[in-house]
Amino acid sequence: MTGTLINIIAVLFGGLLGSFLGARLPDKMRETVMSGLGLVTAVVGMQMALGTHNILLVMGSVLVGGVLGEWWRIEDGLEAAGRWLEERVGSAMGSTDERSITRAFVTASLVFCVGPLTILGWRWNGRFAVIAYLIPVGYCLAGLVLIVVVGLGGFPDTAYLHQAARSFGFGPIPDGAAVALLVALQGSAGMIYSVATAAGEELGWRGFLVPELARKLSFTPVAVLSGLVWATWHYPVFALLFPPGNGVPMWFSLPTFTSAAVAVSFAQAWLRLRTDSVWPPIVLHASHNVWMQAICTPLIIEKPSTKWVAGEPGLVFVALSALVAAVFWAKRKELTEPKAASSSPIQTGIDDDGRRSE
């Protein structure tokens, strides 16, 4: 009960304060504050999800809540109730000012309950989420087949398969069944944890950074700059992710990893701007982590040359990610109306050649 009262007071106080001060703040400052609220809200949500003892319960609650919310059209009902309240109370108070107390209350409700996640592109886009999931599946399987066919690595690594089978609670099973089990469980249930961890990064890089860059830059520099930021973020722990003693030297792995991250960012940036949703980039990132790190790369039997071509710093992935980048760069003309991180109208666009125009 105490928490509910605190929330009520916070909304009322925020609404009153916003009604008197909001119009006096510059547009850019309001956009920055809204974006900051979105990031904090998302981080709190992810912390609570990761802290649960039953992530399946969280997943089920989100799925059921999303289906019921869309079925019952709760958001439409809240908006209709807000309009009704504003018409009745606003007219009774004789106020036509957009900064009225009623409008401040409605705005506060949106900011506290809807706005922070909406401006980060939190709306689900199922069609492109499926496409995003399949992109890493494609280049990971293609890389695995290429490495094995050329003879740069073997398949499958039975030691890893037996270890994976034991971790799933199975005893000795045939290699084919173990591979199928690994793909089925990691490719589905493994995505739950992977989505939770990938979202922590993607809310910053693609949820906020990409739309903000797209307000001023064309698609190519948006993809390159966001990819460089994404890659650089890993640098402090790079030696832990790819220990030089267990693989290739850092003078090789650091540039190849960075190149691949920038290349994949072309797909990530395109999906974010095309759908106005952060979910497809989250799903692509999570799918990459599952298929690259838990399925395809560990299944390769290492040979002397394997370390130079397999995995995230490997040359095969660099080449395939460059192909992915080329595909989405060629589709940049479809981004005619990029969405910004804020809810304010966008005054710029992208012309037929993918260049921004005023």
pLDDT digits (tens, 9 = 90+) for 312-329: 999 999 999 999 999 999
Rounded Cα gap, residues 21 and 99, in angstroms: 9
> What's the gap between Cα 240 and its chain centre?
24
Distance, in Å, from the CA atom of 106 to the CA atom of 133, rounded to the nearest integer, reads 37
What CA–CA distance (Å, rounded) separates 245 from 247? Answer: 6
pLDDT given for residue 300 in this prediction = 95
Lowest-pLDDT choice from 123-127, 306-310, 343-347, 353-357 = 343-347
Q: What is the mean pLDDT of the chain?
A: 77
pLDDT level of residue 213 (50, 70, 90 thresholds) = very high
Q: Is the pLDDT of residue 291 over 90?
A: yes
| Poorest-pLDDT segment among 43-47, 230-234, 316-320 | 43-47
Average pLDDT over residues 221-241: 90
Contact (CB, 8 A) for 238 and 258: no
**Does 38 score more than 70 pLDDT?**
no
Dihedral sign for Cα atoms in the order 245, 247, 249, 255: negative
Lowest model confidence (mean pLDDT) among 86-90, 133-137, 340-344: 340-344
Q: Look at the block and give the residue holding tokens 């005023």.
A: 358
**pLDDT at residue 55 greater than cutoff 80:** no
Count of C-beta atoms within a 10 Å radius of residue 65: 11
Integer distance in angstroms from the first to the last C-alpha of the chain?
51
- How far apart, in whole angstroms, are the C-alpha atoms of residue 79 and residue 159? 57
CA 41 to chain centre: 15
Non-local CB neighbours of 89 within 8 Å, separated by 6+ positions:
102
Of 113, 104, 42, 41, which is closest to residue 77 (Cα–Cα)?
A: 113
Q: Residues with Cβ < 8 Å from 345, sequence gap 6 or more?
A: none
Confidence (pLDDT) at 340: 44
